Amino acid sequence: MTATKGLEGIVAATTSVSSIVDGVLTYRGYDIDDLADHATFEEVIYLLWYGKLPSHSELIQLKAELSASAAVPAPVIDILKLVPRNTTPMAVLRTAVSSLAIYDPEAEDMSPEANYRKAARLQAQIPTIVAAYARLRNQDDPISPKEGASIAENFLYMLTGSEPDAVAIKALDKALVLHADHELNASTFASRVTVATLSDIYSGVTSAIGTLKGPLHGGANEGVMAMLEEIGSIDQIDDYVRGKLERREKLMGFGHRVYKGGDPRAKHLQRMSYELGKRTENLKWYDMSVKIEGLVFGLKGLRPNVDFYSASVYTILGIPRDLFTPIFAISRCSGWTAHILEQYENNRIIRPRAEYVGKADQKYVPVDYR
C-alpha cells in the first residue's frame, strides 16, 4: 500500500453535480461560462440541488422559500453578540452554523424532504449570519433580511443598511455563481466524508466551513488582498514576487491542484475587477493584479485561480477583507448541500486506507523502567 500525497489524481467518488474535465467546469452539464453570463445565483442553487434549471414558477417558489428562511434564530444572534469582537469571521461562521442545528427541530430528521428544507435554511441563513456578525463587531445592530430580495442584494443590504446599486448586486451575484460548486474540492470532500457516516447536514456543512477556512483553499482570497496591500504599489511588485518565490513561499491566488492551463472562472473575475475598477476610477488593484499575473506566469508558469481577482472585486465593492472567505462560504453552501444530498441518496461510508510508515515490533516496558 503506497499513499498518494494529498490524494492527487485519486477518484474518490462519483457525482452528477459538477465536473472539471480538460480545464472545463460544468454544473450539471452547463458550462460555467454560460452560467456566469446568463444565470442568477438562485437559478444555480436550484440547478445544483435539483439537476435542472428552474421554470419560472419553480424559481419563484425557491426564492420565496429562501426569503422565508433567511431570518436566524434569536439564540444564534445572541451567540454572535457574545463572540469577542476580533474573532475571525470564518471561525464565527463555523460556530454559528453548528449552533443553528440546536435550534432546528428537524436537525436530526434524515428524511429527504427534511434535508432539502435544511439545505434551504442553511443557504438562506449563512448570509444573514455573516452580515450580522460584521455589524455586531462594529457595535451596530444586525439588519433583518429584506422580503423578496435575492441573496446577493440582501447580503449587501444587511451589511450596509443601505440599498445596494444594481451594478454591485449583479457583480456579487455573478461571483456567487462562479464560486458555487467545484467537483471534489477539499471542503466538499470533507462534507461528504462527514455525512457518509449518516451524520446530519449541519455537521456536514460545519466540516466544510472549517475546511474552506484554510489559506490553501477558500482563505486564499483574503491572502491575495493582504498581498496586494503589503506590496502597496505597482513598482514594488517585482521585488516582492521574486522574494516570495526565492523563499519558496506560496503566492496566494495562484496554482491549482486540477487546473494546469488556467482556472476558467478567473477570466470572469478579472473582467469584473476591471469593469468595477473603471467605474469607480480605482484601477489600482486591478493594474497590480495584472502585473503580478504576468510576472508569476513568466517566472513559475502558474496561473491565477478563482481567488486571485475575486480579491479586488470584493474590495471595490467595499467588502471588508476578512469577509471574503465567508462570501465564498455563502456561495459554496449551495454546492456543499447538493453534494450532501447526493451522498445521502447513494451512500457508503468513506473510509480509505493509510500506508503505515511508523515503528514496528515495539514491546511494552513498565513505566519504572522507561
Binding site for ligand SDX (CB under 6 A): 6, 182, 185, 216-218, 220, 250-258, 300, 302, 305-307
| Number of other residues whose CB lies within 10 A of the CB of residue 112 | 10
| Number of other residues whose CB lies within 10 A of the CB of residue 103 | 12
217 is catalytic: no
Q: Which residue stretches of the chain are H helix?
A: 32-38, 41-50, 56-68, 74-82, 89-102, 112-136, 151-160, 166-178, 186-195, 201-212, 220-231, 237-246, 266-279, 284-300, 306-316, 324-345
Taking CB atoms, the residue at the shortest distance from ligand SDX is 255
Q: Is the CB of 137 or the CB of 321 nearer to ligand SDX?
A: 321
Q: Is the CB of 142 or the CB of 218 nearer to ligand SDX?
A: 218
**CB 31 → ligand SDX: shortest distance, Å?**
16
Q: Is the CB of 157 or the CB of 314 nearer to ligand SDX?
A: 314
Bridge-based pairing of strands 18-21 and 30-31 is unpaired
Q: Which of 179, 182, 256, 339 is catalytic?
A: 256
**CB 305 → ligand SDX: shortest distance, Å?**
4
Q: Is the CB of 63 or the CB of 94 nearer to ligand SDX?
A: 94
Q: For residue 318, give the nearest of 124, 162, 214 by alpha carbon.
A: 162
Q: Which of 173, 200, 307, 322 is catalytic?
A: 307
**CB 179 → ligand SDX: shortest distance, Å?**
7
**CB 181 → ligand SDX: shortest distance, Å?**
8
Q: For residue 85, give the nearest of 130, 137, 140, 133 by alpha carbon.
A: 137
256 is catalytic: yes
Q: Is the CB of 65 or the CB of 238 nearer to ligand SDX?
A: 238
The C-alpha atoms of residue 351 and residue 202 are separated, in whole angstroms, by: 21
- The position carrying cell 453570463 is 37
User: Do the Cβ atoms of 207 and 362 come closer than 8 Å?
Assistant: no
Q: Is the CB of 92 or the CB of 178 nearer to ligand SDX?
A: 178
Q: Is the CB of 261 or the CB of 366 nearer to ligand SDX?
A: 261
**CB 99 → ligand SDX: shortest distance, Å?**
25
C-alpha torsion sign, points 92, 331, 182, 33: negative
276-282, Cβ contacts within 8 angstroms, sequence gap of 24 or more: 276/167, 276/171, 276/313, 276/316, 276/317, 277/312, 277/316, 279/167, 280/316, 282/316
User: Do the Cβ atoms of 108 and 165 come closer than 8 Å?
Assistant: no
Which conformational region is residue 361 in: left (phi greater than 0), alpha (psi within -120 to 50 degrees), or beta? left
User: Do the Cβ atoms of 288 and 237 come closer than 8 Å?
Assistant: yes
The C-alpha atoms of residue 334 and residue 98 are separated, in whole angstroms, by: 17
**CB 329 → ligand SDX: shortest distance, Å?**
11
**CB 4 → ligand SDX: shortest distance, Å?**
11
By annotation, the residues acting in catalysis are 256, 307
